[in-house]
């Protein structure tokens, strides 16, 4: 009986400790939920001074006991620097575990719209998910997954099965043109184009790239800021780019910049398989005259060597200048002008 009484006292003591801990945790949760709710508007105002515009119609906080979760209606996010983008979602949730308020997960299960700030081009997305890490010694990191993208505006007719992006922001703004303002990696799955190109079809079976934007984009109207960024030596370091379109496979890396009219220019190194098909497309689009195609194929054929898969591949300079694209000595495309204003 004495042992049983001691056991009961132990059980009652442990039960009391658990109840005290639960009450303390509930009080902590309620306190922190109030702090987070009160800090939400000041946080958005602080981001506005940094060039990030965050707005919403309503925000409720919940998630007890496992998370702190904000449920937003009509949430929007927009910025011009360092990468112009605007995101709008009719409903979105953002949450974090109570023991790690530097890692936030978000979801827009009913879809969202991703556009460049003027709304000229963008995508409607069936679902958007991701996570953001803030406050680390290495800066901030953002991971985003988008499902079923449908192009709007200038992107009308383009459809993408899914896309994944990873973005890193340094802890401090770049001080020179050699400092990184933003690192971006993007991987896109099967993409359907609005029209089919003979010899290639209308499906990109794969597209990915990793790049770093070097140099700070200064304040002011966007076109003027781009001009100052260019004049200060700003560049985009393209670490890798891979495109698979029909029989064409392109792997490239190099440096991109803006010319005097704010149009893209660059010097890349490209390894290409299926180069004959690329020449045929250049003829069909009028970039090359039919009597120039044979010479272009002959030149490229002389430079081709078997790659690791035994396919003929060429490694050539890929240059962009005066809105024209050259693969080695052959002009293969023209770039439409980009209206920045």
In a structure prediction context, what are the per-residue pLDDT tens digits for the chain, which is 341 residues long?
555 566 566 656 666 676 776 788 888 889 999 999 999 999 999 989 888 899 999 999 999 988 999 999 999 999 887 788 999 999 999 999 999 999 999 999 999 999 987 778 899 999 999 999 987 778 899 999 999 999 998 889 999 999 999 999 998 888 998 999 999 999 998 899 888 776 677 888 889 999 999 998 888 888 898 999 999 999 999 999 998 888 788 889 999 999 999 999 999 998 888 777 767 766 766 666 777 777 777 777 777 777 777 777 788 888 999 999 887 777 777 888 887 76
3-state secondary structure of 82: coil
Q: Which residues of 260-272 are buried (b: 16+ CB within 10 A; e: fewer)?
A: eebbebbebebbb
Is residue 83 domain-resident? Answer: yes
Specify the residue for token string 């204003």.
Answer: 341
Burial class of 341 by CB neighbour count within 10 A (0 to 12, 13 to 18, 19+): exposed
Is residue 6 domain-resident? Answer: yes
CA distance 311 to 297: 16
Contact 217, 226 (CB under 8 A): yes
Beta bridge partners of 248: 245
Contact 71, 62 (CB under 8 A): yes
Question: Which two three-digit tokens encode residue 311?
Answer: 């396919």
pLDDT at 154: 84
Is residue 265 domain-resident? Answer: no
The residue segments making up the domain with residue 164 are: 2-259
CA end-to-end span of the chain? 88
Question: Which two three-digit tokens encode residue 221?
Answer: 């109207």
Is residue 280 domain-resident? Answer: no
CA distance 290 to 312: 23
CA distance 248 to 209: 16
3-state secondary structure of 77: strand
Contact 78, 86 (CB under 8 A): yes
Is residue 293 domain-resident? Answer: no
CA distance 276 to 311: 13
Residue 196, preceding peptide bond in cis (omega within 30° of 0): no
pLDDT at 9: 62
Is residue 117 domain-resident? Answer: yes
User: Directed axis angle between helix 290-303 and helix 275-284, to 10°?
Assistant: 160
Total domains in the chain come to 1
Is residue 326 domain-resident? Answer: no
**pTM for this structure?**
0.85
Displacement of CA 15 from its chain's centroid (Å): 50
CA distance 30 to 53: 28
Contact 276, 295 (CB under 8 A): no
pLDDT at 199: 66
Q: Which residues of 209-242 are buried (b: 16+ CB within 10 A; e: fewer)?
A: bbbbbbbbbeeeebeebbbebbeeebbbbbeebe
- For residue 300, the tally of other CB atoms under 10 A from its CB is 22
Residue 82, preceding peptide bond in cis (omega within 30° of 0): yes
Alpha carbons within 13 A on the beta-carbon side of 253: 5
CA distance 104 to 94: 7
Is residue 333 domain-resident? Answer: no
pLDDT at 247: 78
């Amino acid at each position: 009986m004495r042992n049983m009484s001691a056991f009961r006292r132990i059980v009652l003591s442990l039960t009391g400790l658990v109840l005290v801990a639960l009450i303390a945790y509930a009080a902590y949760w309620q306190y922190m939920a109030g702090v987070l709710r009160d800090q939400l508007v000041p946080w958005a105002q602080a981001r506005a001074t940094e060039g990030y515009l965050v707005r919403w119609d309503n925000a409720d906080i919940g998630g007890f006991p496992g998370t702190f979760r904000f449920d937003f209606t009509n949430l929007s996010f927009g910025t011009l620097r360092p990468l112009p983008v605007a995101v709008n979602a009719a409903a979105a949730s953002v949450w974090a575990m109570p023991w790690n308020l530097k890692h936030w997960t978000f979801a827009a299960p009913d879809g969202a719209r991703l556009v460049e700030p003027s709304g000229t081009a963008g995508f409607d997305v069936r679902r958007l998910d991701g996570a953001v890490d803030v406050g680390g010694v290495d800066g901030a990191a953002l991971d985003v997954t988008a499902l079923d993208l449908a192009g709007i505006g200038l992107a009308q007719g383009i459809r993408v099965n899914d896309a994944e992006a990873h973005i890193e922001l340094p802890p401090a703004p770049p001080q020179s043109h050699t400092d990184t303002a933003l690192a971006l990696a993007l991987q896109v799955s099967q993409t359907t184009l609005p029209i089919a190109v003979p010899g290639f079809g209308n499906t990109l079976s794969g597209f990915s790239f990793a790049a770093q934007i070097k140099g700070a984009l200064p304040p002011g109207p966007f076109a003027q800021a781009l001009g100052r960024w260019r004049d200060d030596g700003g560049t985009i370091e393209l670490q890798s780019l891979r495109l698979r379109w029909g029989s064409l496979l392109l792997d490239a890396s190099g440096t991109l910049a803006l010319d005097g009219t704010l149009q893209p220019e660059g010097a890349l190194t490209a390894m290409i398989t299926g180069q004959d098909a690329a020449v045929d497309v250049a003829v069909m689009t009028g970039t090359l005259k039919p009597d120039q195609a044979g010479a272009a194929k002959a030149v490229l054929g002389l430079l081709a060597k078997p790659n690791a898969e035994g396919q003929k591949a060429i490694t050539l300079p890929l240059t962009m200048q005066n809105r024209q694209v050259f693969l080695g000595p052959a002009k293969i495309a023209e770039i439409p002008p980009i209206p920045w204003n």
